Amino acid sequence: MHRATTGRTLGLAVGLATALAGTGAQAQTAEVLHYWTSGGEARAVAALQEEFEAAGGTWVDAPVAGGGGDAQATVLRSRVLAGDPPTAVQIKGPNIHDWAAEGVLANLDAVAAEAGWDDILPPLLRDIVTYDDQYVAVPVNIHRVNWLWINPEVLAEVGAEVPTTWDEFNATADALLEAGITPLAHGGQPWQDATVFETVVLGLGGPDFYRQALVELDADALTSDTMIAVFDQMRRITGYVDPNFPGRDWNLATGMVMNGEAAMQIMGDWAKGEFAASELTPDEDYLCVPTPGTSGFVLNSDSFAFFEVEGDDRVAGQDLLAGLILGESFQETFNLFKGSIPARTDLDRSAFDACAVRSMEDLDSAVAEGSLVPSMAHEIAIGRAPRGAFLDVVTQHFNSDMSSQEAVELLLEEVELAM
C-alpha cells in the first residue's frame, strides 16, 4: 500500500494492519535511526521499542553512538542520498523543515487527526513538527538545556551555597579548586561546549539578547560587549574543568558528579535520565537548579520523522509508531526514563519528580514572561550551517587562548559565511 500524498486514514491503516498482524498477514516493521545510547537514553528508547513490539510491530534498532546527534545526522544524510532512508528517525527543529522541504517526509495528518494532536500539543511544538501546515514529525518530549547539576555533598565540603549568578559560580568554583576538587564535570565536544555557551548567553544577556544573538544572528549582538563578557565567562569556565575533559562523553561527565569526582555539570536534563538510571533521588542525592542568572527556559525537543519508504510493512510500521508516541502511558514512561517532560501538556504530573515538576512550572512561567528560548546547541533555534559556525568558534575558543575580542570577530565572520 503506497502512501497517498494527502495522508492516510489512520483508523483503516492501523486497524487493518493490527488486525492482520495477528494473523501475520501484514507485518509492521520500523527501522529506527537514533542516537540514544547512554544509560538513561537507552532505557527510554527501549520503552518505545517495547510498546511498539507489544502492539505487533517489528523494531529494527539502528543506534548511532555520539551524544548530541551530529554523528547520527551524517549517517542520515548519507543514507537518504543513497536512496535508503530509515523507516523512522529521531530528528529535531529546523532539520525537520529542511527534510520536509525536500519532499521526503511522510504526511502524518491522518495520524494526527485520529489522535487529536492539535488539542494536546503546545503551539511551540506544533510549529516544530508541521511544515506547510502538515504534520511531518511527532514530538516525543521537552528537554530543558539550562540546568546545573550539583552533588550537594561535594559543595558542602567547601561550605558553598548553590550559585545563582555567574559571579557566585566563579567564587564557588574557585573555592572548590582551592580544596583540590574539580568544580565542573565537562565533556570536551563541540555540542557540549555550545551547551555551556548558550546558558552563559542567557544568564549574562537575558532572553532578548539570546534571541538577537543566537536566533536572529544580529551582527551587533554577536560583537557586543555582552558577547565579549560571555566569552570572558567561557574563559573562566575553561579553568574549572579537569585535564581529561577533551572528548569525554556527556554521560561520563554526569557520572563524575554522581560519584563525587566533580561538584557540578552544566547539561540538559537528559542528564537526569542518568541519575534516574542509577536510582538517585533529586534534592537528596543531587540538586537540579537553573544555570546561573537564568530564570528562563532553553528548550530542546526530540521528535521522530518518517521518510517516504517502499513496502506495506514499513508504511504500516510508520503508522503504528507515529500513533504510539503521543499516547498518555508512553509519554509518562518514556519521559520518566529520559529526564525530559512530556510533549503533551494534558498529562497528570504526579508520577514526575521534583526536577521535572520544576521544569514544567518554569516552562509555564517562561512562556508567560517571554523567557522561553530555543536551544541553538541542540538544533532548535537555527539551521545546520549557522549552528555549525557557533560550535566551531566556541570550541576553538574553549580549547585555545583566543581572546574574547578575537572570538566575537571570528563568530561574526563565520556566522555571516553560514547564512
Closer residue to ligand GAL, CB minimum distance, 8 or 387? 387
List, edge to edge, every strand of the sheet that includes 287-290. Answer: 182-184, 262-266, 147-150, 287-290
Closest residue to ligand GAL using C-beta atoms: 67
With CA atoms as reference, report the closest residue to 47 among 308, 369, 276.
Answer: 276
- Which of 7-15, 35-43, 173-181, 225-233 is the region at the interface with ligand GAL (rule: CB under 6 A)? 35-43
Is 332 among the residues that bind ligand GAL (CB under 6 A)? no
- Which of 53-61, 64-72, 79-87, 314-322 is the region at the interface with ligand GAL (rule: CB under 6 A)? 64-72
Beta carbon of residue 67, minimum distance to ligand GAL (angstroms, whole number): 3
Whether 286 contacts 255, CB under 8 Å: no
- Which of 61-69, 110-118, 196-204, 317-325 is the region at the interface with ligand GAL (rule: CB under 6 A)? 61-69
Report the helix count and the strand count for the chain, using DSSP H and E.
19, 15
Nearest 5 degrees, angle CA 106-CA 130-CA 1?
15
Closer residue to ligand GAL, CB minimum distance, 172 or 335? 335
With CA atoms as reference, report the closest residue to 202 among 361, 377, 402, 412.
Answer: 377
- Which of 34-42, 120-128, 177-185, 406-414 is the region at the interface with ligand GAL (rule: CB under 6 A)? 34-42
CA dihedral 19→20→21→24, nearest 10 degrees, is 150
Other C-beta atoms lying within 10 Å of the C-beta of residue 330? 18
- Which of 62-70, 95-103, 201-209, 399-407 is the region at the interface with ligand GAL (rule: CB under 6 A)? 62-70
SS3 label, residue 189: coil
Closer residue to ligand GAL, CB minimum distance, 299 or 408? 299
Beta carbon of residue 113, minimum distance to ligand GAL (angstroms, whole number): 27
> What is the x/- site pattern for ligand GAL, positions 255-274, by CB under 6 A?
---------------x----
Is 378 among the residues that bind ligand GAL (CB under 6 A)? yes
Q: Among residue numbers 285 through 304, which ones bind ligand GAL (CB under 6 A)?
A: 300, 302
With CA atoms as reference, report the closest residue to 314 among 3, 61, 5, 97.
Answer: 3
* DSSP code, position 289: E
User: What's the grid cell of residue 155?
Assistant: 559543595
User: What's the grid cell of residue 399?
Assistant: 580549547
Taking CA atoms, 277 is separated from 40, 42, 228, 272, in Å, by 6, 10, 39, 8
Is 36 among the residues that bind ligand GAL (CB under 6 A)? yes
Beta carbon of residue 25, minimum distance to ligand GAL (angstroms, whole number): 36
Beta carbon of residue 196, minimum distance to ligand GAL (angstroms, whole number): 14
CA 259 distance to own-chain centroid = 24
Indicate the pairing of strand 88-91 with strand 29-34. parallel
Beta carbon of residue 96, minimum distance to ligand GAL (angstroms, whole number): 13
Closer residue to ligand GAL, CB minimum distance, 109 or 269? 269
Kindly list the residues in this chain that would bind ligand GAL in the complex (CB under 6 A). Answer: 35-36, 41, 67-69, 143, 250, 270, 300, 302, 378
